[in-house]
Amino acid sequence: MTQKDDGIPSHWFGTATAPNFGRRCARAQAALHEADEALLRALKADYPLDAPVTVVHYRGQFSGRVAGWDRFGCRVVVRNDASGKVAKWWAAHVQLREGSSADGSPT
């Protein structure tokens, strides 16, 4: 069974040497990559670098600053103000500290 060459290349071989690869899989992979990039853009917009944040977790909370992002899990990298320790936290646990905005400027 030969699939129509719709210009979607196989990840490893291209269309010339792998004419029968699963193009639905290739389209799904492209959509996944696009979604990953959109998530990273959203993380950067909602949690600007060096923005003051509060991390709320099951043992309590602490203040810190955004040190980066991890799109593979929708996490924000936070540097703890008290300890200097850096860790990844689910975005749902990270809140911009009162007095700052998503663009990093004071409100």
For residues 84-101, average pLDDT? 90
Supply the CATH number for residue 34's domain: 2.30.30.140
In a domain, 4, yes or no: no
| Cα distance between residue 23 and residue 41, in whole Å | 27
In a domain, 8, yes or no: no
Evaluate if residue 17 carries a pLDDT over 50: yes
In a domain, 104, yes or no: no
pTM higher than 0.75 for the full model? no
Tokens 């593979």 identify what position? 72
For residues 44-53, average pLDDT? 96
What is the DSSP code (8-state) at residue 21? S
In a domain, 76, yes or no: yes
In a domain, 20, yes or no: yes
Please tell me whether residue 80 adopts helix, strand or coil conformation: strand
Structure tokens, 1: 């069974």
Decide: 87 and 78 in contact? Cβ < 8 Å.
yes
- The total number of structural domains in the chain stands at 1
| Cα distance between residue 41 and residue 21, in whole Å | 31
